Amino acid sequence: MNGVASVLVRDVLTGPVRPGSVVAAGRAATYLDVDGRLVAVVAPGGVRLPCAVVASGDGLPLAAGPDLAVGDGAVHQDGRRVLSVRRWFDPRVRLEAGVDPAAVARFAALVLALGRADPLLPAHAAERLARDLAAGDAWDAAARLLGRGTGLTPAGDDLVAGALAALRALGSPAADDLGAAVRALALVATSRLSAALLEAADVGAVVPEAAAVLRALAGAGGLAAATDRLVALGHTSGWHLAVGLLVGVSHAQGPRRRSGDGIRWESTDCVTGTPVGGGGA
Amino acid sequence: MSSSPIADLLVPPEAVITVGAPTLDEALAAQGVTTVPVEWRPPPAGSVAAVAAVTSDPRLVPANRMAIERMTAVRPRLVDVRPAAGLVGIGRHQLLHAGPPVDWDTATGPMRGAIIGACLYEGWADTPDAAEALAASGAIELAPCHDHASVGPMAGIVSPSMPMWVLEDTDGRASRSTLNEGLGKVLRYGAFGEAVTERLRWMERVLGPVLASALRRHGPVDVGSLIASMVAMGDEGHNRNRAGTSLLVRALAPDMVRAVDGGAAGHRADDVADVLAFIDANDHFLLNVVMGAAKLVADAGRGIAGSTVVVAMARNGTEFGIRVAGTGDRWFTAPAAVPDGLYLGGFGPDDANADIGDSAITETVGLGGFAMAGAPAIVQLVGGEVADARTWTELMYQVTLAEHPGWALPPLGFRGVPFGIDVLRVVRTGMAPIINTGIAGRVAGTGQVGAGLVHPPLDCFSAAVAALAALVEAPR
Amino acid sequence: MTEIVRVERGRYHDSVTLMRASAAARELPGVEAVIAAMGTELNRTLLVDAGFPEAERGATADDLLIAVRADGDAAAHEALATVERVLTERRRSAVAGAQEVAPRSVEAAAAQSPDAGVVVVSVPGPHAYVEAAAALRAGRHVMVFSDGVEVAAEVALKRVAAASGRLVMGPDCGTAILGGVGLGFANVVVPGPVGLVAASGTGAQQLCCLLDGAGIGVRHVVGVGGRDLSAAVGGASTLAALAALDDDPAVEVIAVVSKPPDPEVAAVVTATATRCRTPVVLALVGPGRPTLTDAAAEIAATLGLRLPEPRAWMPPSAGDVSRPGPVLGLFSGGTNAAEALVVLEDRLGPVRSNVHHDHDPGRRLGPDDDPGGGHAVLDLGDDELTAGRPHPMIDPRPVADRLTAAAGASAGPGVVLLDVVLGHGAHPDPAAVFGPALSAARTAGVATVVTLVGTAGDPQGLERQAQALFAAGASIHRSNARAAEHAAAMVAGVAGLVGER
């Protein structure tokens, strides 16, 4: 079977064949730890995570179990190549020319009109993340949010990952502080998969659905369709990622905004998901 | 912000359409890209240059857009029933017929039978033999219905005394069609004789006048909306008109009843009851109205230079003919095929005549075979499986330019019927339109022998593309 | 012996599928010959030549011809059944994947797939304009892989594309890579800082592979077609592609790969390149110009890196001898042929070729002309040679057959130079096709030098192919320029030895 893989795990995949241990497995993906690096082996049509090798045939190429290995351009099971990499993709996004403020306002309206709640997240999480970034308190923001929420990628991690990736994509200096905090805290605060995704966000790498939103904010492609696709990811993951992107993009846009024309974060209650209408410039 | 309009090219494509060598499609699939392979085949060798020339015509897109806009803007209304003589200006020894021009010598059984029947009905001859001799002598002047803003199913014979439906668009254009005689031994299928003449006389004396007074009292019937309703109720408007016929009766019945005591112009209660019983016995009664509406719609697209939209498909039992928006009044003809279908009683394929009738005007505007997905019961009449009905409609979207905004198919999520046949797409895909049709007996006087599916010959479409290519002015 | 010739009216399959069906049926025991082909004049002649005289009657280009010769009726019918199975298998798989009915036109496919932003057109040349125009009207970018498209059609397509903000890659565009996804013939590259504008597909592949060897990734290859920089076309796609690549912040260096352009177009391209914020390297293959290997080094240098010497698999120099005789170049890649021609002429003097010599028609060599004992370079992927049959990168057997024939000829070449191209779209195992021919050459004393255009990630496996070709007796270079230099040196060396005697 053939597959496509992220350039972020290229060194692991093209290096010598090394055994991997399964850290988590589901119907859509198997997550392997290869000498401390996480590689997601994703079924066809699954989410193209920044640490993934995605199969392009039919069905998940491996049964979760022992005797899995990675290297020499392939994933191996029981000594056989079960998934050969036939293309590399680069999940990193760079928006040197910046974003269109009008598009950001539209994005805010689109995202805030769709509420997704996570009961384990602190109240007004997005608003506080935005405020912490503005105050230069990246460490506090990361410490309060990482690992908070349900699932393999907790909602708090999604928020932070979105914000961090957006800051990196736009070359914002705030990315360095948040990135350092995330790297220091992620491995102890959250799941292995989530930590890997946060690490990817620190180099501006995101799932293609989020990348499409960032590019649309820079004027390439349809924003509404891209937003819909991102928000549709996972149970609440896509929406929290979207809110994170919005926080990051808004911060990177800087203080050019006049007071009062910013995003009304108070309407973004990630605990109840309501009320969510309005927002925008 | 990006200044390049093609910035969207520089991302990994989610999906790629491939047309041609499968190797290239497979190479993309191996890279995890969704591919959409086109089942391509070349147009006939003789059409390659013409297809390219017409494709390159700068008028193509705007002209077709104009044709579709004009055709979908038509609001056909049924306004009256009046005798043919005054409507289409025919008199003694003059008949209209279905399809492209034909003469007695080349006409086949059902067309000849209907001409004989019309001569007997009009009293131009006393016996079938005398009628045949009259027609064969060349004394009967024949002209296509289509040239007189008219349409008629099967043989489509219109004689001066026959009552005709009159339809109008809001811009004052009109079309006419014959009244449907029912099934069995009827003139349009080429039957003639006492019973046929008797029925035609009753239609002239009773049916026409009752309908006319009911319509005049009622006011115009919006046939566009009626078609939308019947399509939603499982009719396709060509071989299935059950729901539509009922809807028309429901609308006109009160005014038919009121006409009973309408003073000098009043009708006998028995006559009105006969009219209602006659309609009840004929599930196809509305077909001719739908055809008249379709004619009005199709005619709106005529005479648009550069347009490749088909504005008429019609058969005379010998030849199939089409007309195209961009080529004026010219017919593109080829020998008509024999339909493939189910036969009545003891009849079989050997008894079938080649395809005949103006009723393919319904397919010309997206009804009939094109709307089969909404009329799955039709397969009991024309053959095939229910799934085939849906497939045919889906295939027809590939040879049409638009969807009719008002005529929606519930099984396809209320998608509009495939509308605006493009001769260029027909030639490029090699996929001829699908037509649901009745099958007439080969021998004059037999009548209907079955119903089924038929395609126009592709040569009609290649010839039209060649003619359009000759009209492309600027070299590309 | 049973012979069957079947004519199926109005049935169409593309030549690659027909070739596969014929090949599958030919494998059966007792089957001597199977030809399934569209009934074009060329194919009918082919069938008559193959001993099926009745093929001449009654078939037209719109009909499918299937001819079988086998040992007995059973084997013949088995062969027909196999042809049918291969032909219908493909049809069915195309239908099964689709939710709705399979699209019969580009417009229908576009209506079914609003997300498909690119259309790849590879129908025979005379039909390509119509399909490409349909793609543009549906608002899609289009890659026209087909060759044999009229210049006027190309100009018309590019005019429409410019007006609607779309790009036409091609015609005769063999290679494109968009964000790492390869279209057409493309090597598996890692998305990196390089963006290419390619009027030459094989040139772009050579550059990608040389950069891959240096660990430098390529983000995009925007193909523009071999004629884009001609006076008639005026660089329409090149200029649009340059602007787009310049806008992509992930692209740190842009290179334009082409034959030397029309001087006026060159001036416009150079002026545009100067205005780009991203550095632009012009890699133009022609006499007196740097080779693509030099261009790769310049790209690396622009990125602040050094291009290591491209890898080669060569025997110890003592074994590097051949029989006396000239160089014969057999290329499937046009730009590889053109580059080899420049290198060889520089070192050996005049070389005859079917690669166009504007300035010297005397050196023009038809594909079947006898080079008359002189050096020769043939581009076997040329339009004229591939009309109606697969490109030699898809099916390299004709190239291997020429090598075998050249080795067998008494007054044949001393050194044969050829290119083997790996990657998506190319033959799954070219080394297996060339192996016997290379061995035959070695036995005849003919030295073989191979340019191996591939990356470690290619499905065929660069190392595996290199070792198999090497084992068959060839010297292997990743750099086409180095391969040509090697061939020239060998001929010069043999000439030196002969001279000493």
pLDDT tens for C146-163 read 988 999 999 999 999 999
Give pLDDT, residue C321: 67
| Residue of C118, C144, C427, C460 for testing the chain B interface, max B β-carbons within 10 Å | C118
C217 in contact with A, Cβ within 8 Å: yes
What is the mean pLDDT of the segment spanning C421-433?
Answer: 95
Q: How far is CA C351 from the centre of its chain?
A: 22
SS3 B231: helix
Range among A59-73, B140-154, C379-393 with highest mean pLDDT value? B140-154
SS3 B380: helix
Q: Do C120 and B19 make contact, defined as CB atoms within 8 angstroms?
A: yes
Check whether B382 has a pLDDT greater than 70.
Answer: yes
DSSP for A118-179, written as a single string: -TTSPTTHHHHHHHHHHHT-HHHHHHHHTT-SSSSS-HHHHHHHHHHHHHHHTT-THHHHHH
A101 in contact with B, Cβ within 8 Å: no
Give pLDDT, residue C339: 95
Q: Which residues of B touch A55 (CB under 8 A)?
A: 32
Report how far residue B258's alpha carbon sits from residue B245's, in angstroms, rounded to the nearest whole number: 20
Give pLDDT, residue A257: 46
Q: Specify the residue for token string 């049709």.
A: B437
Q: Describe the crossing of helices B269-280 and B208-218 by its angle, rounded to 10 degrees.
A: 100
Give pLDDT, residue C98: 37
Q: Where does C291-408 have alpha helices with state H?
A: 292-302, 334-348, 383-386, 397-408
Check whether C93 has a pLDDT greater than 60.
Answer: no
Chains within contact range of chain C (3+ C-beta pairs < 8 Å): A, B
Q: Do C104 and B39 make contact, defined as CB atoms within 8 angstroms?
A: yes
Which amino acid is residue A113, in one-letter code?
A: A
Q: Which residues of C touch B10 (CB under 8 A)?
A: 178-179, 219-220, 222, 244-245, 248
Q: Are A92 and B12 in contact (CB under 8 A)?
A: no
Give pLDDT, residue B188: 94
Report how far residue B356's alpha carbon sits from residue B315's, in angstroms, rounded to the nearest whole number: 5
Sheet order of strands, C253-258 included? C181-184, C175-178, C218-223, C194-198, C253-258, C280-284
Report how far residue C111's alpha carbon sits from residue B403's, in angstroms, rounded to the nearest whole number: 12
Note the pTM of the prediction, 2 decimals. 0.85
The nearest CA of chain A is from the CA of C454 a distance in Å of 13
Give pLDDT, residue C12: 76
pLDDT tens for B277-336 read 999 999 999 999 999 999 999 999 999 999 999 999 999 999 999 999 999 999 999 999
Give pLDDT, residue B57: 94
Which amino acid is residue A209, in one-letter code?
A: E
| Residue of A7, A48, A87, A92 for testing the chain C interface, max C β-carbons within 10 Å | A87
Give pLDDT, residue B133: 97
SS3 B36: strand
Check whether B135 has a pLDDT greater than 60.
Answer: yes
The nearest CA of chain C is from the CA of B304 a distance in Å of 20
Report how far residue A196's alpha carbon sits from residue C46's, in angstroms, rounded to the nearest whole number: 61
The average confidence (pLDDT) of chain B is: 93
pLDDT tens for B155-177 read 999 999 999 999 999 989 999 99
Instruction: Show which of residues 395-434 on chain C sit within 8 Å of chain A, judged by CB atoms.
Output: 424
ipTM: 0.90
Report how far residue C57's alpha carbon sits from residue B100's, in angstroms, rounded to the nearest whole number: 35
Instruction: Show which of residues 84-103 on chain A sit within 8 Å of chain C, judged by CB atoms.
Output: 84-90, 92, 94-97
Contacts (Cβ under 8 Å, ≥6 apart) of C418: C329, C330, C331, C399, C403, C434, C448, C449, C450, C451
| Residue of B2, B6, B426, B465 for testing the chain C interface, max C β-carbons within 10 Å | B6
pLDDT tens for B352-371 read 999 999 999 999 999 999 99
Burial of B419 (0-12, 13-18, 19+ CB in 10 A): buried
Check whether C243 has a pLDDT greater than 90.
Answer: yes
Nearest alpha carbon to residue A57 among C120, B31, B22: B31
Q: Are A180 and A154 in contact (CB under 8 A)?
A: no
Q: Do B32 and A97 make contact, defined as CB atoms within 8 angstroms?
A: no
What is the 8-class DSSP label of residue B204? I
The nearest CA of chain C is from the CA of A226 a distance in Å of 11
pLDDT tens for C396-421 read 999 999 999 999 988 889 999 999 99
Check whether C430 has a pLDDT greater than 70.
Answer: yes
Instruction: Show which of residues 55-74 on chain A sit within 8 Å of chain C, judged by CB atoms.
Output: 73
Q: Are B440 and B327 in contact (CB under 8 A)?
A: no
pLDDT tens per residue across all 281 residues of chain A = 889 999 999 999 999 999 999 888 888 889 999 999 999 999 888 889 999 999 987 666 666 666 889 999 999 998 899 999 999 999 999 998 889 999 999 999 888 887 777 777 777 888 889 999 999 899 988 998 999 987 778 999 999 999 999 999 999 999 999 999 999 998 788 888 999 999 999 999 999 999 999 999 988 778 888 999 999 998 889 999 999 999 999 999 875 444 444 566 655 555 554 443 333 33
| pLDDT: which is higher, A113 or B36 | B36
Other beta carbons within 10 Å of B73: 13
Tokens describing residue B389? 């009905």
Q: Are B449 and B352 in contact (CB under 8 A)?
A: yes
Select from A3, A97, A208 the Cβ nearest to the Cβ of B2: A97
pLDDT tens for B271-293 read 999 999 999 999 999 999 999 99
Expressed in angstroms, the distance from the first to the final Cα of chain A is 49
Share of chain B above pLDDT 90, in %: 84
| pLDDT: which is higher, B22 or B64 | B64
Q: Do A85 and C188 make contact, defined as CB atoms within 8 angstroms?
A: yes
Q: How far is CA C400 from the centre of its chain?
A: 15
Using omega within 30 degrees of 0 as the cis cutoff, is the peptide bond preceding C261 cis?
no
pLDDT tens for C455-485 read 999 999 999 999 999 999 999 999 999 999 9
Contacts (Cβ under 8 Å, ≥6 apart) of C249: A94, A95, A96, A97
Give pLDDT, residue C91: 47
The nearest CA of chain C is from the CA of B373 a distance in Å of 13
